Structure 1
Amino acid sequence: TGERKRRPRGDRKSQEMTMHLRQALTAAIRTELYPRSQIDIFLEVLQADGGNYCACVNAATLALIDAGIPIREFVVACTASLTGGDNCMPLVDISHLEETSGGSNLTVAAMPISGQVVLMDMSQRFHLDHLKKVMDCAMQGCRDVYEILDRALREYLTEVGSSSAWGSVDISTQRILQVVEPNTEDT
């Protein structure tokens, strides 16, 4: 299937995604703190079921935060499209089938706190009447993704602890044992 199709390293789609990722993440990383340095981010898509670029941007943002690399703010991405038919309705976070169905797709990478769009990519042209509607939908999707990532990051930090308070977090061994050893009292 197309999902399992191996692509050579230097194919056009991979190079395009690399260029877009570099552009989006460079806008957020505080590169002035790392003169004459190189930050490498390696991403591997395990299942290509739609929104690959968006998933890579969101994962790379979390990886940068986890690595302790200072960023100005989160960079999140979302893809929006229009349904076919007479009354076109915008769709957010489209699947692979919707992505390849031939309709126009708009991918937006943004820093949602400041409202700055760092990357915008269209697969085809939109009619001007629909562009604002789809753009607003994609930006709302970015804000929603930001809320989810921020909440998940805060939960992770309260559970594991930050690097500055490494020794102060007590992870319950009983909780870990419950995950490793299932309850056998019923037998």
Structure 2
Amino acid sequence: MGSRIEILNEAGFRSDGRRQHELRDLNIDLSRHGEADGSALISHGLTQVLVSVHGPREAKMRSHTFHDRANINVEVTVASFSTGERRKRLRGDKRILEFAATIKATFEPVIRTSLYPRSQIDIYIQVLQQDGGTLQTCINGTTLALINAGIPMTDFVCAISGGVHSTSPMLDLTTLEENDIPHVTVAVMPKAKKVVLVTMETRLHVDRFEEILNLARDAGSILHREMKEAVLNRSISLVSTAGPAQLREKGEDDMNVDY
């Protein structure tokens, strides 16, 4: 049985008018949301996520306290209105717990946790809208929120989804595309040129996998430039609105990352 939708037409355009390797619009808002130490509202196309970071602060539970490093706590919630399903996703939902565990495992080696022994860094992720690439949006939003909170990291983490339609590789998939073609999510550290995450929920031929991985690395560099620009613009706005004394009180620089 053929596909219900045309993933790629004869002219090489996708259902939303993009070319195979073209990324969706990336929108980033690093202004403060709520009482968080750092936050980021990010959208890839119609997929939108709000990430809030609190800490480092004292761990609430003794079992979450490590004498030599900070504990990373990640919680993900999905708004009931985020998809057309209208089904409320509870915190205990297995897929949401997997999401949180994946994001925690991705960032633990990147955050300099040894600088904050016996403390906890809380990362709260709210998925507001979903149209494919939810994990990549959560990861990119977490990178930006951590930087915004002044949490030291060794590098940015930039994520993108990719898949193959017939023999045509595609990047930054929508829900329609994810439902129809084999796909992966890849996260890279652009400065270190390392792949820190590959998740595959569908089977993908090994020959195609390498192609997608290389494309994802290139896309990670593009995302890195846009994310870094957003961070620098936020830094400039903070410097222009706060006096030198206020900046010193904030730890001299609200954005603490090796570019």
1:112-139 deviations in Å (ceiling 9; x for gaps): 1111111110112211221111111111
Q: Which has the higher contact order (CA 8 A, sep 6+)?
A: 2
Out of 157, 162, 167, which is 2:243 matched to?
Answer: 167
1:145/1:3 CA distance change after superposition, 3 Å: farther
For 1:95, give the aligned amino acid.
Answer: T
Aligned to 2:179: 100
1:110 and 2:197 equivalent? no
The 8 Å contact of residues 163 and 171 in structure 2, kept in 1 or not, is answered as: yes
Task: Give structure 2 stretches of 5+ with no counterpart.
Answer: 1-82, 245-259
1:141 and 2:141 equivalent? no
Out of 168, 172, 175, which is 1:89 matched to?
Answer: 168
Q: How far does residue 3 in structure 1 lie from its aligned partner after superposition?
A: 4.4
Q: How far does residue 100 in structure 1 lie from its aligned partner after superposition?
A: 1.5
* Higher gyration radius (CA): 1
Out of 65, 75, 80, which is 2:147 matched to?
Answer: 65
For 2:163, give the aligned amino acid.
Answer: S
- Identity value in percent: 38
SS at match of 2:160: strand
Equivalenced residues, count: 162
> Where is the strand percentage greater, Structure 1 or Structure 2?
2
Q: C-alpha distance in 1, partners of 2:89/2:188?
A: 28
Task: Give structure 1 stretches of 5+ with no counterpart.
Answer: 169-187
- Mapping 1:3-152, distance limit 5 Å: 3-84=85-166, 88-101=167-180, 103-152=181-230
The normalised TM-score by structure 2 is 0.59
CA-based RMSD: 1.7
For 1:49, give the aligned amino acid.
Answer: D
Q: How far does residue 166 in structure 1 lie from its aligned partner after superposition?
A: 3.3
Q: How far does residue 4 in structure 1 lie from its aligned partner after superposition?
A: 3.0
Q: C-alpha distance in 1, partners of 2:151/2:85?
A: 33
The 8 Å contact of residues 148 and 231 in structure 2, kept in 1 or not, is answered as: no
1:68-127 deviations in Å (ceiling 9; x for gaps): 11111111111111123xxx12111111111112x2111111111111111110112211
Aligned to 2:44: none
Q: C-alpha distance in 2, partners of 1:77/1:27?
A: 16
Q: C-alpha distance in 2, partners of 1:106/1:139?
A: 13
Q: C-alpha distance in 1, partners of 2:108/2:97?
A: 16
Aligned to 2:231: 153
For 1:98, give the aligned amino acid.
Answer: E
The 8 Å contact of residues 43 and 56 in structure 1, kept in 2 or not, is answered as: yes
The 8 Å contact of residues 140 and 157 in structure 2, kept in 1 or not, is answered as: yes
Q: C-alpha distance in 1, partners of 2:109/2:85?
A: 31
Q: C-alpha distance in 2, partners of 1:125/1:20?
A: 19
The normalised TM-score by structure 1 is 0.81
More displaced 10-residue stretch of structure 1: 120-129 or 22-31: 120-129
